[in-house]
């Protein structure tokens, strides 16, 4: 077992995918107490406040310790500040007002408007997101970011006064955003597994990677017909790392992210649909599902990246998505009800666990297990075009409802 997997078992009630699921249980009460204590300490010491031009708080960025340096997630900063992030020939190009900043993972220098800035720590890639040294933010984004002397406050100079309502960018914004009216942009649909990772297998040659790809393609068609932009993480039988999926979602600035999977179990009487959100696991069932879905890291060339995360940093990665937790839970509930009414799948409820594919997503993000390939009733849905269309329609309808709720809440 790797150091990372072993440490995770003590933080997230997580069993390593390399070991049998019947290992001795961790004392749940003690675990939760320790986790809450760590979470509280991390939140108190490791969050950096972001303010607008006049000093009104608009959010917080989590920090991760990397030696003596503190790193913050680029995706969350970019979303708050209105930066555009684009991957160009292995480098990340970040466009902010009157400034182009270019990063390369592992490089101790960055290019800012054709000049070079030496960084206090190299740019890192974890959980599908880039993390930048906090101490250099005002040098990296000189026209947009002002860092306090103690490094505990980030002032976003390109953000107007937000005290009277939603944050608005000072320039380069569409008319609707200039009026402070947030509008839903696009949804990211992720078909789990793919390529050399087949996922689960059912009877008569059924393979999970093919079933879920068909479902997300159908959901894309339904949403496109309704005028909702959609981005698929994969359109073919392609292998993607878990980090690539999240990185694509953030690069596309999605407003919702769902990773679609099928489940399986040794007991064929177990069936139905269930949703998961990124949060410490609270049941052995959630632990087992997360272990199964996370096992794909063994097929990744750079699986060592997961071992670089300490217990504290793993907690902070989850904190980075905690601001979207309520919307993630709400969306999960809507989706499961749609699947019950439209696809006749049993509602197995919303659970939580440490799914790598959800970590670092700068938007509400959920993982859907849309039925069991080992359950005869679920197979009647998953194994037919009509059944998969019903699942796709339920996914699309849940996104439409969430879009309506999110836009109403932003008014």
Report for 8-12, 192-196, 286-290: range of highest mean pLDDT: 192-196
Higher pLDDT, residue 278 or 178: 278
Q: Choose between 343 and 304: higher pLDDT.
A: 343
Confidence tier at 196 by pLDDT (50, 70, 90): very high
Better pLDDT: 87 or 389: 389
Query: How far is it, in rounded angstroms, from Cα 50 to Cα 152?
Result: 9
pLDDT surpasses 60 at 8 = no
Same domain? 156 vs 288 = no
Instruction: Kindly report, residue by residue over 120-158, the tens digit of the pLDDT.
Output: 888 888 766 788 999 889 889 988 888 887 888 988 887
Residues 25 and 99 both lie in one domain? no
In a domain, 181, yes or no: no
177 in a structural domain: no
Tell me phi and psi for residue 356, to 5 degrees: -60, -35
Same domain, 97 and 85: yes
What are the Cα distances from residue 9, in Å, to 20, 28, 70, 295, 300? 13, 11, 25, 14, 21
Residue 357's pLDDT band (boundaries 50, 70, 90)? confident
**Domain shared by 125 and 200, yes or no:** no
Is there a domain that residue 179 lies in?
Answer: no
Does residue 24 sit in the same domain as residue 133? no
Report pLDDT for 336: 97
Answer yes or no: do 29 and 117 share one domain.
no
Same domain, 219 and 71: no
pLDDT > 70: what percent of the chain? 73
Give domain status of residue 176, yes or no: no
Distance CA 193, CA 295 (A): 11
Taking each continuous run of H as one helix and of E as one strand, the counts in the chain are 12, 19
Domain that holds residue 25: 3-44
Least confident range from 28-37, 110-119, 132-141, 313-322: namely 28-37
Count of domains observed in the chain: 3
Residue 106: give its domain's CATH number: 3.30.457.10
Both tokens of 387, joined, read 């059944």
Q: What is the CATH number of the domain that holds 326?
A: 3.40.630.40
In a domain, 321, yes or no: yes
Give 161's pLDDT tier (boundaries 50, 70, 90): low
Same domain, 27 and 104: no
100 and 54 in a common domain = yes
The confidence score (pLDDT) of residue 282 equals 65
């Amino acid at each position: 077992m790797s150091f990372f997997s072993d440490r995770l078992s003590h933080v997230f009630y997580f069993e390593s995918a390399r070991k049998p699921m019947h290992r001795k249980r961790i004392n749940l009460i003690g675990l939760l107490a320790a986790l809450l204590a760590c979470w509280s300490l991390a939140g108190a010491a490791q969050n950096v406040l972001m303010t607008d031009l006049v000093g009104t708080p608009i959010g917080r960025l989590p920090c991760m310790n990397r030696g003596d340096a503190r790193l913050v997630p680029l995706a969350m900063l970019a979303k708050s500040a209105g930066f555009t992030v684009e991957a160009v020939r292995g480098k990340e190009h970040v466009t902010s007002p009157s400034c182009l900043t270019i990063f390369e993972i592992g490089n101790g220098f960055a290019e800012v408007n054709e000049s070079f800035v030496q960084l206090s720590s190299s740019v890192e890639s974890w959980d599908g997101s880039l993390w930048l040294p906090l101490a250099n933010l005002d040098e990296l984004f000189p026209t947009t970011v002002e860092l306090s002397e103690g490094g505990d406050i980030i002032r976003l100079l390109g953000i107007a006064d937000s005290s009277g309502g939603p944050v608005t960018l000072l320039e380069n914004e569409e008319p609707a955003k200039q009026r402070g009216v947030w509008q839903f942009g696009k949804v990211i649909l992720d078909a789990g597994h793919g390529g050399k990772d087949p996922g689960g297998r059912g009877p008569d040659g059924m393979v999970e990677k093919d079933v879920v790809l068909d479902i997300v393609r159908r959901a894309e068609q339904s949403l496109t017909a309704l005028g909702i932009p959609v981005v698929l993480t994969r359109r073919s039988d392609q292998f993607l790392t878990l980090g690539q999926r999240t990185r694509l979602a953030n690069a596309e600035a999605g407003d919702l992210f769902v990773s679609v999977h099928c489940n399986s179990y040794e007991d064929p009487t177990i069936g139905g649909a269930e949703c998961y959100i990124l949060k410490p696991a609270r049941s052995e069932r959630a632990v087992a599902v997360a272990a199964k879905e996370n096992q794909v890291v063994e097929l990744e060339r750079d699986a060592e990246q997961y071992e670089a995360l300490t217990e504290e940093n793993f907690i902070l990665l989850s904190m980075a998505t905690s601001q979207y937790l309520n919307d993630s839970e709400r969306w999960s509930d809507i989706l499961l009800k749609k699947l019950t009414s439209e696809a006749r799948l049993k509602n197995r409820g919303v659970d939580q666990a440490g799914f790598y594919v959800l970590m670092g997503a700068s938007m509400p993000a959920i993982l859907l297990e849309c039925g069991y390939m080992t359950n005869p009733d679920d197979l009647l849905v998953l194994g037919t075009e009509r059944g998969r269309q019903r699942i796709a329609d339920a996914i699309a309808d849940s996104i439409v409802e969430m879009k309506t709720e999110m836009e109403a809440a932003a008014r």
